[in-house]
Amino acid sequence: MKRTWEIATVTDAARARIATARLAAAHGVPALDRTRLTTALSTQLRQCLTKGGSWRLTLDAVTDGAGPAALHVSLAACDPAESAAHPPWQAAVVCTEPTSAAVGSAPPDAAAELAESLLGADEDTALVLEKLSDQEELVAFHREELHQTNQGVVALHAELDAAGRAQREALAAERKARTEAEAARRRLTFLANASAVLTSSLNHDEIVRRLPELLVPEYARSVDVWLFDGDAEETPPSPHPAAAVIAARTGRPQYAAHRPGGLPGVDDQPPSALDPERALLCIPLPTRRAPLGVLTLAPPGDRWDPDDAVMLIEIARRASIAIDNARRFEHNRDIAETLQRALLTDLPTTPGLRLAARYLPATHGLNIGGDWYDAFRQPDGGLIAVIGDVTGHGLHAAVMMSQLRTALRAYAVDGGSPGTLLTRLHSFLHHLQPDLYATAVIARFHPEEPTLTWAAAGHPPPVLRTPDGQVRTLDAKPSAMLGIPLSQQIHDHTMQLPPGSTLALYTDGLVERRALGIDPGIERLARALGSLGPERLERDLDGSADRILDPMLSDSERDDDICLLLCHIAADPG
């Protein structure tokens, strides 16, 4: 069904708009679509009236069996020339609601009916506005939901940001803690290694020399060690920074620079006049009594890390202890060596009998021990040669050795054979020092008698080389050690001693090895003694003693004292 209206005036336009609204409602166009259609048509009609002329409005209701009906609307100019200049306006709406009987009604003619129709047309607008209000409420509801969601998202982002910031701070703290732990581990490792280096030597000059090697260049650019008792040897004495003098006087570390160092336990001082552009850390070297010197350091960079400064103070303390211990050891060693040399007297000269002795103290600890040798004449002209070993090392063993040596000389004045002398020494030691023991072997030579008398108490057996080059061990069963809580009578052994014979007395430090025992060492000593020619023994007994020691000491650990006493009977007594 098609309807057409000619529009030339405002009244025509109003009637056409009303008719369109009614036909759209009658054909089942929904109110919202109907309102949109009439609103758009009103806009087009207003434009047409403004332009003037006649216009034709056509409404065509098309029914399609496969779907709902559609209402097509067209507004075009009646004048063909005008129509060519202004293309027609067209619109189409779908009729989805049931049709009504008012499809064939025409627009009203009377003004009252026209007004009523206009008011009725506004009902669609009211429906649209009502739906629009519902939509606004729905939009407001969704807007509030969106706002709440946005607030939650903002809060979540804030929490995530705070969590990320906390995580970054935790990672930074972890990295810092790991760095500090690694630095602390490095300092502790260095401190342990440096302590091992400083305490490995008992020479204080060596310790002072090693200090710069340890600290430069990682912890100091330069190192100066000022030992107080060394000033007297310097000509002239070198100047020292004022901070070092203050450290020596107060016993507290001093830091001299243009700016305070902020180092824990360290006093700040003005820069040194000797080198004002360089910062100095002056650390006293403390001992139990008073500082023995000052350690002056220049920083490797601009300044020290506080933890590094604490470590350097600890290094100085340990170096001071090591230097002090080394000086004490050197002092005690000098005393011990002086005492040892005083106890080892010169060997007597006897016609027809040559003597050569060697004493080598242990290289570990004090160079003094309980080994000793001695040779002296008895009133009847006989010569006593003795070699012995007091258990233990150090000053106490040396003192006991000197007492045994003095007692033996005293007993020998009254005469007596080697066995008798050892028996009296056994009683003397047992009553004097019940917890101290000794071994000894005594050999007696008499120029008028071609015999050798000897006795041994727990000591390695003498080794005898005869003029024909044969070497034998005088391994007659020895008596027990001197000083054991037993009563014993030590017996003599006698043998013929042809001219040109050489007797070797020694201590166990020469022949005993921990892994091999003592017997292989005695065999090596016998071979070394047998390898010497008679001419060499006759001509140079001291050199022969050295030639015996050289191969014997090649595998020695030198942890025990060594004594060797060679007694050579001249081949030609004249």
Q: What is the 3-state secondary structure (H, E, C) of 133-194?
A: HHHHHHHHHHHHHHHHHHHHHHHHHHHHHHHHHHHHHHHHHHHHHHHHHHHHHHHHHHHHHH
- The CA-based dihedral angle spanning residues 246, 252, 256, 259, taken in that order and rounded to the nearest 10 degrees: -130
Confidence of residue 573 (pLDDT cuts 50, 70, 90): low
What is the C-alpha to C-alpha distance for residues 107 and 8, in angstroms, rounded to an integer? Answer: 16
- Asked which of 115-119, 419-423, 535-539, 555-559 is least confident by mean pLDDT, the reply is 115-119
- Asked which of 47-61, 128-142, 226-240 is least confident by mean pLDDT, the reply is 226-240
Confidence of residue 262 (pLDDT cuts 50, 70, 90): confident
Is the confidence at residue 48, as pLDDT, over 80?
yes
Is the confidence at residue 15, as pLDDT, over 50?
yes
Residues 6+ apart with CB under 8 A from 394: 336, 365, 366, 368, 369
Taking residue 272's Cβ as centre, other Cβ atoms within 10 Å add up to: 21
For residue 353, the surrounding DSSP H or E stretch is strand 353-360
Structure tokens at 569: 């009977």
Range(s) within the chain of domains with CATH label 3.60.40.10: 344-569
Average pLDDT of span 435-447: 89
Among 57, 88, 60, which residue's Cα sits nearest to residue 72? 60
Average pLDDT of span 391-401: 74
Q: What is the pTM of this model?
A: 0.54
Mean of the per-residue pLDDT values for the chain?
A: 85
Confidence of residue 235 (pLDDT cuts 50, 70, 90): very low
Label the pairing between strands 471-473 and 463-465: antiparallel
Q: Which pLDDT does position 317 carry in this prediction?
A: 92
- Report percent pLDDT > 70 for the chain: 89
What is the C-alpha to C-alpha distance for residues 352 and 418, in angstroms, rounded to an integer? Answer: 21
Q: What is the DSSP letter of 102?
A: G
Tens of pLDDT, residue by residue over 162-220, are 999 999 999 999 999 898 889 889 889 988 998 898 888 888 889 999 999 999 988 89
CATH superfamily ID and name for 344-569 = PPM-type phosphatase domain (3.60.40.10)
Confidence of residue 359 (pLDDT cuts 50, 70, 90): confident
Cα distances (angstroms) measured from residue 448 to each of 53, 301, 352, 378: 178, 84, 10, 14
Is the confidence at residue 420, as pLDDT, over 80?
yes
CATH 3.30.450.40 is held by the domain 201-338: yes
Is residue 297 within 8 Å of 260, Cβ to Cβ? no
Average pLDDT of span 130-138: 83
Q: Which pLDDT does position 449 carry in this prediction?
A: 79
- Report percent pLDDT > 90 for the chain: 35
Range(s) within the chain of domains with CATH label 3.30.450.40: 201-338
Q: Which pLDDT does position 65 carry in this prediction?
A: 60
Q: Which pLDDT does position 415 carry in this prediction?
A: 84
Is the confidence at residue 472, as pLDDT, over 90?
yes
